[in-house]
Chain A
């Protein structure tokens, strides 16, 4: 009986759209996060001088805003995903479940 419902959900075009769009969105954000983090690690591994360069005449280096930036970026990108998933994608999920339960 439950397998029957699973089949009906799978056949629903809205389900196909949900899986495709949310899946793509998740993977794109994953790849962006990987690029940002490993870009940062690569900077440290290959060009330490760049991060140690002072901004203007002070002692604050480029590494400080970049490092703090990676932290803030991680928080923001998580927020972007959660916001879209909890509104748009959850609404779509609700619709699908309502349709198959009819």
Chain B
């Protein structure tokens, strides 16, 4: 069992393959595949099931509260799965396993960054969010502030993050579905848009939560099966698995013209250079270029999580602080487990996919692009039926994530802008619900149009931009308004907007946009680092602090005087919104 059966013949065919695959957790550009009927059948079953749930949920979604938070009756365990579902996007499943297949260890560094924000949320925010909030994170950030300015800021912060993230997911969805099901790109984007709108419009948070839970279970089950099947081949001897992967990478490098040329150039033995290439997958490579980029990127991932509106909103679906804490613990556990699985799956792909001519095109590259690593591995391990299953799960994943994002964007419009700002809190539940449905419809259409317009954009880049904005605008305002007694409306709103502008602005003048997108000369970008978070987060925090300290208005005095009461409620939950209205 220790050797993949087709290895010998495959290696000869692989002679022309380069090991230098494109890096990064990116879904990227893909090539349309043949129509996969098993996958479509599995997907139809999934859609049928979720539509049936939506019908059931629609009967319970009669009020704005039910629409936003499923009535607050979700348990900690269920919510943990739903949060994990929100977080384990198709881009992370396919992108990270592809990155590990291509570069080995670097993929692990990337996933660790995504995980470590969760403990921080648990220690500093989870119970306070639940105790202070009702429907959106603006309820928390604006608890004692002037509603007009803080709601405008929160809605802006929410919509910017949601739109960036939504574009990333829509483009990823289109590329993937084109690839998995053989549909045209625009058809794929429209299908995702329409289904997502149906879930949110009719089923609100109840349907979105259950779609998320089902998908999280399917994804975890499928990924577990793959990882255990890979480990089983090696008798659960991890060292043997790594050794095999290094051997394969070395053999691939041995026949790589680039490696041969490099060895000749340096006057070294080809075998020696190839061995180094093979061994490089076991340690950090080029993922992190300089220390400042490393720290900045780490901060965006770590603190961005605590500023993602669709994640924050999940804390309002549980009845109390105890369940809120339980839900983050479950979420952290599932997400951590999932990242360990993707690591094994990436190595499995090196061993079973890179060596099998069935998955390679004439040039020796992976059929359909590198992001097909996990999908091809599913085929190698479980045949066509399991391939169909995993393809359907990947599609379901995208659907669930875009539904969650759209719901939080729509809530910002209907709850923060319409009900609180325009109607000054006097909107009745029915009209608020109507506005949130109109907003869902508009956001859905915008998402589809942007998804089609940005077909060629780099998905991983859009995701990291959404995280950077969340970390620089939403997170500082949220944290300081909850934990700092002297924070005022003026400080929070000014600081938040400065953080928002800084994160977007620095991204525009960074190499990725200034040089690659806008076509300016190499080296002309003003901002040399890959992620703006280190600097834009400082702008957000210092801005909020400075303009709060400088604020000596009557309003500021009132807001500071209101802090002790807010503190008591955030710590004890006394007076927090009732659990359920069913």
Binding site for B on A (CB under 8 A): 2-3, 5-6, 9-10, 15, 18-19, 22, 26-27, 29-30, 33-34, 37-38, 40-42, 44-46, 48-49, 51-54, 58-61, 63-64, 67-68, 70-72, 74-75, 77-79, 81-82, 85-86, 90, 93, 96-97
How distant is the Cα of A38 from the Cα of B544 in the complex, in angstroms? 25
Contact B239 A9 (CB under 8 A): no
How distant is the Cα of A44 from the Cα of B122 in the complex, in angstroms? 26
Residue from the list A3, A5, A9, A30 in contact with B120, Cβ < 8 A: A30
Contact A74 B116 (CB under 8 A): yes
Contact A38 B298 (CB under 8 A): yes
Contact B124 A82 (CB under 8 A): no
How distant is the Cα of A46 from the Cα of B124 in the complex, in angstroms? 30
How distant is the Cα of A97 from the Cα of B569 in the complex, in angstroms? 11
CB nearest neighbor in A for B106? A44
Residue from the list B122, B298, B332 in contact with A41, Cβ < 8 A: B298
B15 touches A (CB below 8 Å): no
CB nearest neighbor in B for A3? B565
Contact B325 A59 (CB under 8 A): no
Query: Taking chain A's interface residues, is the majority helix, strand, or loop, or is none over half, making it mixed?
Result: helix
Which chain B residues lie closer than 8 Å to A79 at the CB level? Answer: 329, 333
Which chain B residues lie closer than 8 Å to A2 at the CB level? Answer: 565, 575
How distant is the Cα of A79 from the Cα of B302 in the complex, in angstroms? 18
Looking at the assembled complex, report how far the CB atom of B252 sits from the nearest CB atom of chain A, in whole angstroms. Answer: 16
Residue from the list A26, A41, A61, A85 in contact with B283, Cβ < 8 A: A61
Contact A81 B283 (CB under 8 A): no
How distant is the Cα of A19 from the Cα of B115 in the complex, in angstroms? 27
Contact A41 B295 (CB under 8 A): yes
Which chain B residues lie closer than 8 Å to A15 at the CB level? Answer: 568, 571-572
Residue from the list B109, B280, B326 in contact with A86, Cβ < 8 A: B326
Contact A44/B332 with A38-B298, A70-B116 known, Cβ cut-off 8 Å: no
Which of A26, A63, A70, A82: most chain B Cβ within 10 A?
A82
Contact B574 A18 (CB under 8 A): no
Which chain B residues lie closer than 8 Å to A29 at the CB level? Answer: 119, 123
**5 A-B residue pairings within 8 Å (CB atoms):** A3-B565, A30-B124, A41-B295, A64-B282, A67-B109
Looking at the assembled complex, report how far the CB atom of A79 sits from the nearest CB atom of chain B, in whole angstroms. Answer: 6
Looking at the assembled complex, report how far the CB atom of A55 sits from the nearest CB atom of chain B, in whole angstroms. Answer: 9
Interface residues in B205-253 (C-beta closer than 8 Å to A): 238-239, 242-243, 246
B153 touches A (CB below 8 Å): no
Residue from the list B124, B336, B564 in contact with A10, Cβ < 8 A: B564
Looking at the assembled complex, report how far the CB atom of B343 sits from the nearest CB atom of chain A, in whole angstroms. Answer: 8
Binding site for A on B (CB under 8 A): 105, 108-109, 111-112, 115-116, 118-120, 122-124, 127, 238-239, 242-243, 246, 279-280, 282-284, 288, 290-291, 294-295, 298, 302, 321-322, 325-326, 328-329, 332-333, 336, 339-340, 343, 564-565, 567-569, 571-575
Contact A78 B288 (CB under 8 A): no
Which chain A residues lie closer than 8 Å to B120 at the CB level? Answer: 30, 33-34
**Can you list the 3 inter-chain pairs with the closest CB atoms, starting with the nearest?**
A52-B283, A45-B291, A26-B123
How distant is the Cα of A86 from the Cα of B567 in the complex, in angstroms? 19
Which of B280, B574, B575: most chain A Cβ within 10 A?
B574
Which chain B residues lie closer than 8 Å to A6 at the CB level? Answer: 564-565, 568-569, 574-575
Which chain A residues lie closer than 8 Å to B340 at the CB level? Answer: 68, 71
Looking at the assembled complex, report how far the CB atom of A39 sits from the nearest CB atom of chain B, in whole angstroms. Answer: 11
Contact A48/B116 with A15-B571, A74-B332 known, Cβ cut-off 8 Å: no
Which chain B residues lie closer than 8 Å to A81 at the CB level? Answer: 119, 122-123, 325
Which of A26, A37, A53, A81: most chain B Cβ within 10 A?
A37
Known pairs A18-B572, A33-B123, A45-B288 / 18 extra A-B pairs, C-beta < 8 Å: A2-B575, A6-B564, A26-B124, A27-B124, A29-B123, A37-B116, A37-B298, A37-B302, A38-B295, A52-B283, A58-B243, A64-B282, A71-B340, A72-B336, A74-B119, A82-B328, A93-B573, A97-B572
Which chain A residues lie closer than 8 Å to B302 at the CB level? Answer: 37
Which chain A residues lie closer than 8 Å to B118 at the CB level? Answer: 74, 78
Which chain B residues lie closer than 8 Å to A97 at the CB level? Answer: 572, 574
How distant is the Cα of A85 from the Cα of B115 in the complex, in angstroms? 21
Which chain B residues lie closer than 8 Å to A22 at the CB level? Answer: 571
Contact A60 B239 (CB under 8 A): yes
Which chain B residues lie closer than 8 Å to A46 at the CB level? Answer: 291
How distant is the Cα of A42 from the Cα of B120 in the complex, in angstroms? 19
CB nearest neighbor in A for B289? A45
Contact A63/B105 with A81-B122, A86-B325 known, Cβ cut-off 8 Å: yes
How distant is the Cα of A51 from the Cα of B575 in the complex, in angstroms? 50
How distant is the Cα of A60 from the Cα of B288 in the complex, in angstroms? 21
Looking at the assembled complex, report how far the CB atom of A16 sits from the nearest CB atom of chain B, in whole angstroms. Answer: 11
Residue from the list B105, B112, B294 in contact with A70, Cβ < 8 A: B112
Looking at the assembled complex, report how far the CB atom of B84 sits from the nearest CB atom of chain A, in whole angstroms. Answer: 12
Contact B116 A44 (CB under 8 A): no
Contact A77 B119 (CB under 8 A): yes
Residue from the list A19, A60, A75 in contact with B571, Cβ < 8 A: A19
Contact A93/B572 with A41-B294, A74-B115 known, Cβ cut-off 8 Å: yes
Contact A85/B569 with A48-B283, A52-B283, A68-B340 known, Cβ cut-off 8 Å: no
